[in-house]
Amino acid sequence: MEVRVREGDSLSYFGRLFMIPLELIVDSNENIDPSSLKPGMKIMIPGYVSIPYTVKEEDTLWKIANAKNLVMDSIMVLNQMKNPNKLVPGEILYLPERITQQHVRSKLPFSSKILMKQITTLKRFYPFINVQTIGKSVLGNPIQEIRIGKGLKKVHMNASFHANEWITTMVLMNLVNHYLISLTNRSAIRGINTINLYNETELSLVPMVNPDGVDLVLNGPPASRHDDVMNINEGSNEFVHWKANIRGVDLNNQFPANWEIEQARKEPKSPAPRDYPGKSPLSEPEAIAMADMIKGNPFDRILALHTQGEEFYWGYEGFEPPESEILAKEFERVSGYKSIRNIDSHAGFKDWYIQEYKRPGFTIELGRGINPLPLSQFDDILKKVEGIFLASLYL
């Protein structure tokens, strides 16, 4: 929501007026020097929308504010009113309304276009978040990263490395939306004061690593790739079991962590709906984008959301630090998921991160069943993984 500065206004006053933590207002207006506000300047207030209201004959500003549980001056600053006693019946006022409900919806699977709309909506309502494109997919779809928080600790999470695991994108976006609402409403999640997490931790999120693959599973092959995709899928119009990117390369077998072992033992030796590691490590633009993002940022830990199994993996070839076990025990406690240190697998994103940086990395397998998991499991998955989401930020 946008307001304009009046004589004597300050960002701290707006924080008190709208009951929003000052740091969120400051970060929502990064291009403005808080000490040099001038009348007429536009200021973004996060966590609010403005709602039109038609003035009635018997209305006063006090009555409207009281009925809507608002401070009178919040209405005056939003409408640039100088005299609260000059209301005209029939005129339109705008009332500030706090956002308390999530705008990320989970009734339908998220295609890449739906995800982009959701990210745009979150950025509009919560302008203190930063959104950037870290790369593009084979088909040119943007791979977007969301950043939240200003702390020294840096945590990264991602989802939908695998196409038919699109439910992980929905889970991550819902977790983020809940976190943002908690921040602007000064409300705790599971007893945790989230503004402290915001100040202590910078959270990085890539909600959809494999946009082309997700779109293929949900909508079928695009015209530009129809014949190639159909050949890879052996002529079948059924794509529910497709994990790879649009070129038939499994993105979570693309990283230089004993990639040669996976190449030798994986059954597909050419593009396939799943398990083909490519002709070389980091051959695919989606994998390159993720690797470059990690190389350019000193993350303290990473979490990759996958499905299924209600378990998580956190070791790789003995490169994991002692901190990983501490985190694993807490993740297991708060989620009920099974903690597994090592499995016979290589070339994954988590494997490469642990090998290269000797820091905690986790592959979290959400839910149980056959991929793609049904949306009927969504609420249960969300409830269990919320504890891991929070613990990754507060530990």
Residue ranges per structural domain of the chain: 2-98, 112-213+281-394
Mean of pLDDT over the chain: 97
Q: For the whole model, what pTM was predicted? A: 0.96
Q: Give pLDDT tens digits for 53-73.
A: 999 999 999 999 999 999 999
- Is the confidence at residue 378, as pLDDT, over 80? yes
Q: Give pLDDT tens digits for 111-123.
A: 999 999 999 999 9
Q: Bridge partners of 133?
A: 144
Q: Is the four-CA dihedral 13, 19, 23, 25 of positive or negative sign?
A: negative
Which amino acid type is present at position 353? Y
**CATH 3.10.350.10 corresponds to the domain 2-98:** yes
Distances, alpha carbon 27 to alpha carbons 31, 149, 209, in Å:
9, 9, 27
End-to-end CA distance of the chain: 33
Cα–Cα dist 221/227, whole Å: 9
Q: Please enumerate in sequence order all residues whose Cβ is within 8 A of that of 10, keeping only pairs 6 or more positions apart, or say none.
A: 34, 37
CA nearest to 148, candidates 97, 194, 99: 194
- Beta strand ranges found along 137-200 (DSSP E): 142-148, 153-159
Cα–Cα dist 135/258, whole Å: 25
What is the per-residue pLDDT for 103? 85
Average pLDDT over residues 358-374: 97
- Is the confidence at residue 223, as pLDDT, over 80? yes
Distances, alpha carbon 268 to alpha carbons 162, 214, 233, 371, in Å:
16, 21, 12, 19
DSSP letter, residue 207 = S
Q: Does the annotation count 58 as an active-site position?
A: no
- Is the confidence at residue 77, as pLDDT, over 70? yes
Q: Give pLDDT tens digits for 18-41.
A: 999 999 999 999 999 999 999 999
Q: Please enumerate in sequence order all residues whose Cβ is within 8 A of that of 269, keeping only pairs 6 or more positions apart, or say none.
A: 276
Of 330, 332, 365, 386, the active-site residue reads 365
In this structure, which topology does domain 112-213+281-394 adopt according to CATH?
A: Aminopeptidase (3.40.630)
